[in-house]
Amino acid sequence: GENVEQHPSTLSVQEGDSAVIKCTYSDSASNYFPWYKQELGKRPQLIIDIRSNVGEKKDQRIAVTLNKTAKHFSLHITETQPEDSAVYFCAASTGRNYQLIWGAGTKLIIKP
């Protein structure tokens, strides 16, 4: 079945610097790739998503890129701020049963 690997498990960056989190997926039929942010004690919330018919999507300081050939996608956060500190999860879906296959998560730490 589908498998999603996420790296790194922990990422510490200086405030104002950029952060990049990478995910790879195994099922070439995957066509939807969301990213979720989960703050401590809170529920996961969608921050950005991308479908397989586009290669890149931006929303202010956040961008996601998709390489279908290599079967990987990445989250880019620029000009990081303290409120970006959280756990970020990538996911992939083929659309079957509307299920999301989740990555293991990345704890992002923004150092002041």
Partner 1 sequence: SAVISQKPSRDICQRGTSLTIQCQVDSQVTMMFWYRQQPGQSLTLIATANQGSEATYESGFVIDKFPISRPNLTFSTLTVSNMSPEDSSIYLCSVSSGTWNTEAFFGQGTRLTVV
Of 43 and 70, nearer to partner 1 (C-beta) is 43
Shortest distance (Å) from residue 53 CB to partner 1 = 12
Shortest distance (Å) from residue 79 CB to partner 1 = 25
Residues near partner 1 (CB under 8 A) are: 31-32, 34, 42-46, 49, 51, 87, 89, 93, 95, 97-100, 102-105, 107
Of 42 and 61, nearer to partner 1 (C-beta) is 42
Please give, one letter per residue, the 3-state secondary structure of the chain: CCCEEEECCEEEEECCCCEEEEEEECCCCCCEEEEEEECCCCCCEEEEEEECCCCEEEECCEEEEEECCCCEEEEEECCCCHHHCEEEEEEEECCHHHCCEECCCEEEEEEC
